[in-house]
A and B are shown apart, each in its own frame.
Chain A
Amino acid sequence: MLFDPLARLGRAGLGVLERLGRAHRLLLAILLGSAEVLLRPRLLIAQLYNIGVLSVLIISVSGLFVGMVLGLQGHYVLARFGAVESLGLMVAASLVRELGPVVTALLVAGRAGSALSAEIGLMKATEQLAGLELMAVDPVRRILAPRFYGGVLAMPLLAAIFSAVGVLGGFFVGVGLLGVDAGAFWSQMQNQVDFREDIVNGVIKSLVFGVVVTWIALFQGHDCVPTSEGVSRATTRTVVLGALAVLGLDFILTALMFGD
């Protein structure tokens, strides 16, 4: 009786470790199945459509609003220091370094990630995955690998669209509404935003987020209890764990990249 809580804790810990182990084994299997994606590019195209094309609208609208808010808020703060010329720099740097990759990853986890989990979970619940297995078709290669690469490839492109639209949104608000000088807006931005330091690092971030978010989504779907409740739990978990992983990893990546 006395050790009951301790035993529960231990069991929970072991459960987490076991899930982590299964998740890594799945990732390994997906990576080993990569050749399938190259041999059948059509599978990848379908997934780029599901994850990428279908997310473009929400990504660009969100990017526009985030950029516009950055323009307003940035102007408010910078005006106090008489440095409104740096508005372009502020908007672009925050988007390219942080908000672009992070908000895109959160949105993709919510829209495409949950859809992936539900799709895989339902395929498991309706024995479609087992059916493929018995047709001697490896579902990891045939179903999971194209979705994985679709997510990994779509993420940086979506993040770039988000940032680009956001910069334009900031430009409209800053230059169009608040009267910042257009030349200063662009030149400050161009002087201070570095290609390698900011843009390349931002792309690396969103690639990492793409791997993690898609991986979590596929694992939750593949590992779910094959019932309707299990599938709904899996989609919730994908969004929650995906968001946590993105934010946590963002801190680590930022510290590694910019924390000197």
Chain B
Amino acid sequence: MSITKGYQVRLAQVRRRRVAPMSEPIIEQPAPVTGGGDVLVRIRGLVFRRGGRAIFDGVELDIRRGAVTAIMGPSGTGKTTLLKLITGQLPPDAGTIEFDGEPVRARDRAALYRLRRRMGMLFQSGALLTDLSVFDNVAYPLREHGRLPASLLRKLVLLKLEAVGLRGARDLMPAELSGGMARRVALARAIALDPDMVLYDEPFTGQDPISMGVLVALIRQLNDASNLTSLVVSHDVRETAQIADYIYLIARGQVIAQGSPEALARDASPWVRQFMDAKPDGPVHFHHPAPALEADLFTRGRH
């Protein structure tokens, strides 16, 4: 397929012009006054608690313009929650999140919606509207946010569908699509409004190797072709490392390692090694925290 071929070439280019790793101590950086400069999303001192448990406890990270940034970590570390915080679906308990120099405020609906028109998000499930065809799904945000003439709308939608290789599937209903196709349609919809940034929530989960490869290629391709900024949240180490320019590893509510894929590959800390090399036991234990087995077995309890 031409996409994959193009991807091979592109990937080679990408590796050559990979952005330089950022200077390490980000904490000391002063907050920008206007605009985001090189940084599109800036997160400082982020604290988020749910049910008394701190999911994030002082997370600091920057998402650079034009780059593919990946946020990785074991399941349950709140990666999806982080996306919800960035898109303002949840308000943080402390700390700031800025998009292009403008704070993301979950309470201010109008400002939030203005920001969201500049973001596209790819949900794990695709989140396509089940009662609309593929074409109408991609046309949806265009119809909602502007009154384009029908012929122009059609051209735009077909171009977006072409970008994900599904122009021929325009008349199918979401129920007729495979999981990978649904995700690609959702991607076409996410980029329909030509956003500044696309957020991907676990884009590789549950995909067969072929559609996984297609998605990997698409994310990189779209990022470079349309001048996008991409944020990929994933725990698929291999695929993510292929396309990411910069990776944040999150665990226990904090960023515990960051750097380019090559840098992380050389990182010697046991935690990074366990995650990147997919070892079953290490700093992250196989067992969920529990009292000692002997003590638990020989006491009375309801369970």
B130 within 8 A of A: yes
Within 102-161 of B, Cβ neighbours of A (below 8 Å) are at 109, 113-114, 116-117, 119-121, 123-125, 127-130, 140-141, 144-145
Which stretch in A80-88, A107-115, A123-131 binds the other chain?
A123-131
Name which of A127, A136, A137, A142 has the most chain B CB atoms within 10 A of its CB.
A136
Interface mask (A235-246 → B, CB under 8 Å = 1, otherwise 0): 000000000000
Is the Cβ of B116 less than 8 Å from the Cβ of A134? yes
Is the Cβ of A138 less than 8 Å from the Cβ of B113? yes
Within 184-207 of A, Cβ neighbours of B (below 8 Å) are at none
B230 within 8 A of A: no
Within 79-101 of B, Cβ neighbours of A (below 8 Å) are at 87, 89
Is the Cβ of A126 less than 8 Å from the Cβ of B117? no
Contact residue among B125, B130, B145, B186 (Cβ-Cβ distance under 8 Å from A136): B145
Is the Cβ of B125 less than 8 Å from the Cβ of A133? no
In the complex the two chains form, what is the Cα distance from A132 to B123 in whole Å?
Answer: 11
Which chain A positions have C-beta within 8 A of B193? 135
Is the Cβ of A126 less than 8 Å from the Cβ of B116? no
Which chain A positions have C-beta within 8 A of B109? 138
With A136-B145, A137-B141 already in contact, the answer to whether A131 and B127 are too (CB < 8 A) is yes
Is the Cβ of A136 less than 8 Å from the Cβ of B123? no
CB of A41, distance to nearest CB on chain B (Å)? 15
Within 131-175 of A, Cβ neighbours of B (below 8 Å) are at 131-138, 142
In the complex the two chains form, what is the Cα distance from A132 to B189 in whole Å?
Answer: 11
In the complex the two chains form, what is the Cα distance from A142 to B140 in whole Å?
Answer: 12
With A135-B116, A135-B141 already in contact, the answer to whether A126 and B125 are too (CB < 8 A) is yes
Is the Cβ of B87 less than 8 Å from the Cβ of A134? yes
Which chain A positions have C-beta within 8 A of B125? 126-127
Is the Cβ of A133 less than 8 Å from the Cβ of B89? yes
Which chain B positions have C-beta within 8 A of A134? 87, 89, 116, 119-121
With A135-B141, A137-B144 already in contact, the answer to whether A128 and B119 are too (CB < 8 A) is no
Name which of A132, A135, A137, A142 has the most chain B CB atoms within 10 A of its CB.
A135
Name which of A127, A128, A134 has the most chain B CB atoms within 10 A of its CB.
A134
CB of A93, distance to nearest CB on chain B (Å)? 43
With A134-B87, A136-B145, A137-B141 already in contact, the answer to whether A126 and B130 are too (CB < 8 A) is yes
Is the Cβ of B128 less than 8 Å from the Cβ of A128? yes
Which chain A positions have C-beta within 8 A of B114? 136
CB of B99, distance to nearest CB on chain A (Å)? 13
Is the Cβ of A126 less than 8 Å from the Cβ of B141? no
In the complex the two chains form, what is the Cα distance from A130 to B83 in whole Å?
Answer: 12
Is the Cβ of A133 less than 8 Å from the Cβ of B123? no
Is the Cβ of A135 less than 8 Å from the Cβ of B123? no
With A126-B125, A127-B125, A130-B123 already in contact, the answer to whether A135 and B140 are too (CB < 8 A) is yes
Is the Cβ of A136 less than 8 Å from the Cβ of B117? yes
Interface mask (B189-208 → A, CB under 8 Å = 1, otherwise 0): 10001000000000000000
Contact residue among B87, B120, B130, B141 (Cβ-Cβ distance under 8 Å from A128): B130
In the complex the two chains form, what is the Cα distance from A138 to B114 in whole Å?
Answer: 12
Is the Cβ of A136 less than 8 Å from the Cβ of B113? yes
Which chain A positions have C-beta within 8 A of B129? 128, 131-132
Which chain B positions have C-beta within 8 A of A133? 89, 116
Is the Cβ of B116 less than 8 Å from the Cβ of A136? yes
CB-CB nearest in chain B for A131: B127
CB of B185, distance to nearest CB on chain A (Å)? 12
Is the Cβ of B123 less than 8 Å from the Cβ of A127? yes
In the complex the two chains form, what is the Cα distance from A23 to B141 in whole Å?
Answer: 28
In the complex the two chains form, what is the Cα distance from A134 to B80 in whole Å?
Answer: 14
Is the Cβ of B117 less than 8 Å from the Cβ of A130? no
Which chain B positions have C-beta within 8 A of A130? 89, 123, 127
Is the Cβ of A127 less than 8 Å from the Cβ of B113? no
Which chain A positions have C-beta within 8 A of B130? 126, 128
In the complex the two chains form, what is the Cα distance from A236 to B287 in whole Å?
Answer: 39
Which chain A positions have C-beta within 8 A of B144? 135-137, 142
In the complex the two chains form, what is the Cα distance from A224 to B87 in whole Å?
Answer: 22
Which chain B positions have C-beta within 8 A of A131? 121, 123, 127-129, 186
CB of B32, distance to nearest CB on chain A (Å)? 24
Which chain A positions have C-beta within 8 A of B186? 131
Which chain B positions have C-beta within 8 A of A135? 116, 140-141, 144, 189, 193
In the complex the two chains form, what is the Cα distance from A204 to B13 in whole Å?
Answer: 70
CB of B260, distance to nearest CB on chain A (Å)? 29
Which chain B positions have C-beta within 8 A of A138? 109, 113
CB-CB nearest in chain A for B118: A136
In the complex the two chains form, what is the Cα distance from A134 to B130 in whole Å?
Answer: 17
CB-CB nearest in chain A for B123: A127
In the complex the two chains form, what is the Cα distance from A16 to B226 in whole Å?
Answer: 50
Which chain B positions have C-beta within 8 A of A128? 127-130
8 A-B pairs in the complex with CB atoms less than 8 angstroms apart: A127-B125, A130-B89, A131-B123, A131-B127, A131-B129, A131-B186, A133-B116, A137-B141
Residues of A within 8 A of B (CB): 126-128, 130-138, 142
Closest 6 CB pairs of A and B: A131-B127, A127-B127, A136-B116, A136-B113, A134-B121, A135-B141
